[in-house]
């Protein structure tokens, strides 16, 4: 039987690359995000892989629950959940931080992960089978200047991953986390609120990870035998040694 992967934040970056990688690995897909046109384009690109598109914001619990309840029968058994949707907004010292940015990060990175997991876990626990991959960050392991709330949100993802793995152990559900370092996606464009010039400088002078690099690791993790759980991965470009130390030529 073909397995089904449910990917949040699939309209761009790591989520989109993961959809491509898992389609190649033989999964059928539920791809979700806020940008319906991009998701439809992705579904067309992945043909003939069966793809179902759901459009919602992970921060909206009611919308998440309604979307999951609408899944057609052939997509209702979710084998793999990739909690990828998230964001970074702003880069300011805590005393100058914008509370709206804080809400965006905490609601998206933490509550969004909880909302989607809560909607899909009843089916996984009932079947006693499932695999959850949470996308964290090196920022969840090392706090850096002006990263305060973003780092806190990703530290919460790390804690939740461990808590989920403990709580779901009796239900035979594998839970794991991928923590990327510098990945060239729309991440910095969002953080700097459309300042593309500033965003581009983040990745100049070295070769950052690509979204496809992270997707390759996720594909490896979810295709291991059922008795294997690659529980935690820290993935860095070769030029990066820590959250703030990057060798730029």
In 3D, which of 169, 167, 239, 245 has the Cα closest to residue 208?
A: 239
CA–CA gap between residue 91 and residue 97 (Å, rounded): 8
CA–CA gap between residue 122 and residue 69 (Å, rounded): 12
In 3D, which of 217, 223, 183 has the Cα closest to residue 202?
A: 183
Q: Is 205 left (phi over 0), alpha (psi -120 to 50) or beta?
A: left
CA–CA gap between residue 105 and residue 78 (Å, rounded): 26
* DSSP strand pairing (232-235 vs 28-33): unpaired
Tokens of 116: 């989607």
Query: Which position among 144, 150, 203, 206 bears the catalytic label?
Result: 150
* DSSP strand pairing (232-235 vs 130-135): unpaired
Examine the residue annotation and report whether 144 is marked as an active-site residue of this protein: no
Catalytic residue numbers read: 150
């Amino acid at each position: 039987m073909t397995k089904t992967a449910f990917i949040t934040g699939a309209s761009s970056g790591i989520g989109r690359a993961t959809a491509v990688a898992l389609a190649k690995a033989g999964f059928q897909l539920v791809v979700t995000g806020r940008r319906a046109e991009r998701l439809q384009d992705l579904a067309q690109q992945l043909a003939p892989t069966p793809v179902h598109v759901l459009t919602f914001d992970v921060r909206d619990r009611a919308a998440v629950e309604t979307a999951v309840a609408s899944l057609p029968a052939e997509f209702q058994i979710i084998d793999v959940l990739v909690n990828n949707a998230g964001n970074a907004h702003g880069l300011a010292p805590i005393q100058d931080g914008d509370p709206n940015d804080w809400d965006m990060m905490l609601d998206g990175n933490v509550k969004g992960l909880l909302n989607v997991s809560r909607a899909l876990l009843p089916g996984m626990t009932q079947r006693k089978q499932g695999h959850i991959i949470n996308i964290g960050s090196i920022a969840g392991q090392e706090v850096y200047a002006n990263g305060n709330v973003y780092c806190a949100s990703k530290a919460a993802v790390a804690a939740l991953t461990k808590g989920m793995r403990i709580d779901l152990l009796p239900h035979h559900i594998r839970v794991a986390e991928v923590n990327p370092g510098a990945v060239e996606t729309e991440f910095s464009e969002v953080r700097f609120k459309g300042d593309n010039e500033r965003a581009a400088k983040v990745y100049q002078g070295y070769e950052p990870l690509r979204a496809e690099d992270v997707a390759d690791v996720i594909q490896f993790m979810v295709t291991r035998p059922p008795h294997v759980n690659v529980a935690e991965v820290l993935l860095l470009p070769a030029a990066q040694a820590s959250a703030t130390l990057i060798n730029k030529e």
